[in-house]
Amino acid sequence: MIAEALQYVATTPVTPSEFRPFLGSSVSLWSRATRCKDEWAAHEGNCRRFVADTIGRMRQRRTVVVLGSGLLRDVPIEAVARTFDTVVLVDLVHLASVRLWLKAKRLDNVRLVHRDLSGFSDALGGEQPEPLAFLRQVPYLDLVISANLLSQIGVGAERRLEQNKDVSPADVVPQLIEAHLRDLTALPCTTILLTDVAYRIVGRSGETLKSGDLMHGVPAPDAEEHWPWPVVPFGEQGRDYQIVHQVIARRVLR
């Protein structure tokens, strides 16, 4: 609790006021990732390996944008920063611990951008979301990585719609997921999609107690790789069950 409080206090002044409501969830994710580092290690390693392998196939490495950069655990950011001229990390919140780590590593070519990548406001206003349209203005863009962000767009939209009973999540969430996939596919550069697409609540004997679709009915893209991710391992929320997400990895080389 003390570490979480310090993280929150240290991050608040460096976070624009419009993004401070998301601080709590970012700190909670950081805390869970710390507690579950052993159970998450295989998933994070698979993500980093997939990104590194993709970069190894690229001809040009000028600018890379990481969407949903978060805790920098699922992208080999140090190697990426040594390879590309410019690295842009985009997320709602960039925790103080992340900022300190980047500074300690002297990754001077890394830029932090606060941005809502969901397209939520446009969808709520009746407009077609174009959440990644800003990438058209990024010069010398060679790679965009969507890093375990897509399912969180749906989760975040559902939470925000709890305050708006006039709008059904079923009308908004699939639209946001489709917009992210559409905009990512339309980019003229190499792209990587890392995302969890489904979940299972699994009992001690291996039985599935409940399952769900994190894509909210939107067809998942064809995956080059897939693997399980025990997001909530046994003992994290209950002794008798764990929550396992199915992750896919896809790249488009250009």
Q: Are 180 and 228 in contact (CB under 8 A)?
A: no
User: Residue 162 corresponds to which tokens in the numbers above?
Assistant: 């709890």
Q: Is 94 left (phi over 0), alpha (psi -120 to 50) or beta?
A: beta
> What is the C-alpha R_g of the chain?
18
117, 67 Cβ separation under 8 angstroms: yes
Per-residue pLDDT of the chain (254 residues; tens, 9 = 90+): 789 999 999 999 999 999 999 999 999 999 999 999 999 999 999 999 999 999 999 999 999 999 999 999 999 999 999 999 999 999 999 999 999 999 999 999 999 999 999 999 998 888 899 999 999 999 999 999 999 999 999 999 988 888 777 788 888 999 999 999 999 999 999 999 999 999 999 999 999 999 999 999 999 999 999 999 999 999 999 999 999 999 999 999 99
| The pLDDT of residue 19 | 96
* Residue 202 to residue 88: CA distance in whole angstroms: 37
pLDDT value at residue 38: 96
Comparing CA positions, the residue from 8, 50, 48, 46 lying closest to residue 30 is: 8
What confidence score (pLDDT) does residue 84 get? 98
Distance CA 97, CA 33 (A): 13
Task: Give the whole-angstrom CA distance, residue 67 versus residue 50.
Answer: 16
**Strand, helix or coil for residue 219:** coil
Phi and psi at residue 189, to the nearest 5°: -110, 175
pLDDT attached to residue 171: 84
pLDDT value of residue 114? 97
Name residue 104's amino acid.
A
Contact 253, 58 (CB under 8 A): yes
The pLDDT value given to residue 49:
98
**pLDDT at residue 244 in the model:** 98
